[in-house]
Amino acid sequence: MATMPSHGLRLRHLTTTTTTTRPFLRTLCSSLSTQASLPEDSAQVQVQQQPGKPNKSYFPKRGQTLELVCESLGFKGKGLCKVADTGFVVMCDRALPGERFIGRVTRKKDNYAEVTKVKTISPHWDFVDAPCEYASYCGGCKTQNLSYEAQLRAKEQQVRELVMHVGKFSCEELESLNIMKPIVPCDIQFHYRNKMEFSFGTQEWLPKELLLEKQDGSESYALGLHAPGFFDKVLNVNKCLLQSEPANMVLAAIQDCWRDPQLGISAYNVHSHAGFLKHLMLRTGRDVKTGLPELMVNFVTSSYKPELLKPLVEKISSIPEVVSVMNNVNSSIGNTSVGEEEYTLYGKSTITEMLRGLTFQISANSFFQTNTHQAEVLYKLIEECVGLRGDGSEIVLDLFCGTGTIGLTLARKARQVYGYEVVTQAIADACLNAKLNNIYNATFVQGDLNKIDESFGNNFPKPDVVISDPNRPGMHMKLIKFLLKLKAPRIVYVSCNPATCARDLDYLCHGVIDKNLEGCYKLKSLQAVDMFPHTPHIECVCLLELC
């Protein structure tokens, strides 16, 4: 397995006993084990009666205030708390482990409640000052004021508990067989994102404590990130500490002039569907020859009016790193950043990035690993788990291949790589990237892996190793059934959602009783990788071998 990068932190290895219980996770286990995929907002919690406690349940009322202590981080990074004496589970956004606070109940389900933090009584453990001025309001970096070491501990603990309670792997099994590896930290904790998407809005959102600073009640245009919980309100952002410095220079330059009435530019209104500017997407790559950063700026607009964008293009093209300015036109009422038409307003239509010795062309709408630095670490770990002999004799099946980045980094050691992906543009990019790197033993096929039938697998030889990198809902039961029938010697499961990952590991290793499917794999290793510091997102790499 890959060694941990040097990061200057002494991580405490987490230990979990079989008596450790998490009611939230036990119910999540039950719900996941009976579904082929899990919507992100459908996780449920359940209170287990504690020994010696009276058999009663406590249902707090909406609007009621409670004094709570956050025990750990859970679903979407929310703090998990319990009501004193009853054990009733309460979830609070932006509550961190050890924090004692007053919370007001905003939403109540049958067996858990959600609260909003009203006042902190005593701060959480491992408190640090967040360097970003928007950290308290923006929905992106919820744990900036939690020390990075503590963030890693919380993520590793969450993965371990999900693997135990959802995946049904015992603590003894994980420890004695050395299955759970320590989480891999990210050496770069800021300015690591190579892609950021900002929204234009007709209504600037301000937190309550800043509303008094606004002198009048008029609405003002905003360019930034959506306020948490709102699709129509935008938090104005002048600088984001997650993106590159050249990208912040572009953002500042656009913020400086786009509201000028003389330009005649309007922000898109998601209610009336009037207005011009929808999104600003900034992508950072590297020049292959010099290694210097190169930047793509993509304006997403409701119509094609290049004359309106000309002043902005002229201003940002003076920034040396800007080599591409694109315009995606999305005339539908939908507010996505992918347009029906695409135009090059300045420079070239793609930028390049290097990963594991390969060069990749990145277009405005290409999928590419968002953290290039940590992707190097992730892909090295995947390559070691795949374990190709290097004699060019083995077949690799790359499921959910995206633009082919994983499969292409393995192709030179394999006989043939077969990649499958539902997104047509991603397949086109994968083929282009294969040609760009003179790789001719990789075949990429467009297809929906959630809708495979009995004929799937007939058009490629039996693979020696399967790589599966699904999106957050995990693998569909049809694909689980196919893999259990295929019986490839090794499966490397790459996951961006440890909950559905744990569920799928349970299916592959222990079977699915109600589907009359027997598991036929052993979990050999599982390692969490922190791809996105200060966020609740966790990546996992799992190695399974045929029994």
CB atoms within 10 A of CB 268: 22
CA 76-477-499 angle, 5° bins:
20
Interatomic CA distance for residues 228 and 224, integer angstroms: 12
- Per-residue pLDDT of 408-447, as tens digits, reads 999 999 999 999 999 998 999 999 999 999 999 999 999 9
- pLDDT value of residue 212: 60
Q: Consult the annotation and say whether 429 binds a ligand.
A: no
CA distance 276 to 266: 5
pLDDT of residue 42: 34
Asked if 136 and 104 count as a contact pair (C-beta separation under 8 A), the reply is: no
Low-confidence stretches of the chain (pLDDT beneath 50): 1-56, 215-218
CA distances from 83 to 22, 108, 323, 410, 461 (A): 14, 14, 55, 51, 56
First to last CA, the chain: 20
Structure tokens, 170: 């015992």
Backbone angles phi, psi at 427, to 5 degrees: -65, -40
55 residue type, one letter:
N
467: nearest Cα among 379, 392, 393, 531:
379
Could you give the count of Cα atoms lying within 13 Å of 505 in the half-sphere of its Cβ? 33
Please give the C-alpha separations between residue 507 and each of 45, 61, 445, in angstroms, as whole numbers. Answer: 22, 38, 26
Pairing relation of β-strands 180-184 and 521-529? Answer: parallel
Is 400 labelled as part of a ligand binding site?
yes
Position 228 scores a pLDDT of: 79
Most distant CA pair in the chain, distance: 74
Three-state secondary structure readout of 46-94:
CCCCCCCCCCCCCCCCCCCEEEEEEEEECHHHCEEEECCCCCCEEEECC
Q: Please, what's the b/e burial string for 106-124 (b: 16 or more CB within 10 A of its CB; e: otherwise)?
A: eebeebbbbbebeeeeeeb
Strand 222-226, strand 112-122: pairing: unpaired
Instruction: Return the ∠ at Cα 272 (arms to 266 and 278), rounded to 5°.
Output: 40
126 is in an annotated binding site: no
Helix (H) or strand (E) run with residue 467 in it: strand 465-468
pTM of the model: 0.84
Where in the sequence numbering do the catalytic residues fall? 496
Beta strand ranges found along 263-337 (DSSP E): 277-286, 293-301, 322-329
Alpha helices (H) in 234-354, listed in sequence order: 245-257, 306-316
Residue 87: per-residue pLDDT = 85
Sorted by sequence, the CB contacts under 8 Å of residue 113 that are 6+ apart come out as 59, 60, 88, 89, 90, 91, 105, 107
Q: Which 8-state DSSP code applies to residue 123?
A: P
**Amino acid letter, 213:** E
- Give the Cα separation of 29 and 539 in Å (integer): 19
Domains by residue range for the chain, with CATH: 7-136 (2.40.50.140), 195-355 (2.40.50.1070), 367-546 (3.40.50.150)
Contacts of 289 (CB under 8 A, 6+ apart): none
Cα-based torsion angle of the residue sequence 161, 167, 172, 178 in order, rounded to the nearest 10 degrees: -90
What's the pLDDT at 25?
A: 42
- Virtual CA dihedral for 160, 165, 167, 171, nearest 10 degrees? 60
Angle between helices 498-510 and 148-165 (to 10 degrees): 30
Element holding 345 (H helix, E strand): strand 341-347
Contact assessment for residue 535 and residue 143, using Cβ atoms and an 8 Å cutoff: yes
Q: How far apart are CA 426 and CA 432, in angstroms?
A: 10
Q: Which residue has the tokens 């010696």?
A: 52
Q: How far is CA 24 from CA 44, 79, 136, in A?
A: 7, 11, 26
Q: How far is CA 515 from the centre of its chain?
A: 30
Q: Tokens at residue 246, please?
A: 């050249």
- Type of residue numbered 273: H
Q: What is the H or E stretch that residue 410 is in? A: helix 405-410
203 annotated as belonging to a binding site for a ligand: no
Whether the Cβ atoms of residue 420 and residue 406 lie closer than 8 Å to each other: no
Question: What Rg, from alpha-carbon coordinates, does the chain have?
Answer: 24
Provide the 3-class DSSP secondary structure of residue 190: coil
pLDDT score for 214: 57
Distance CA 119, CA 25 (A): 27
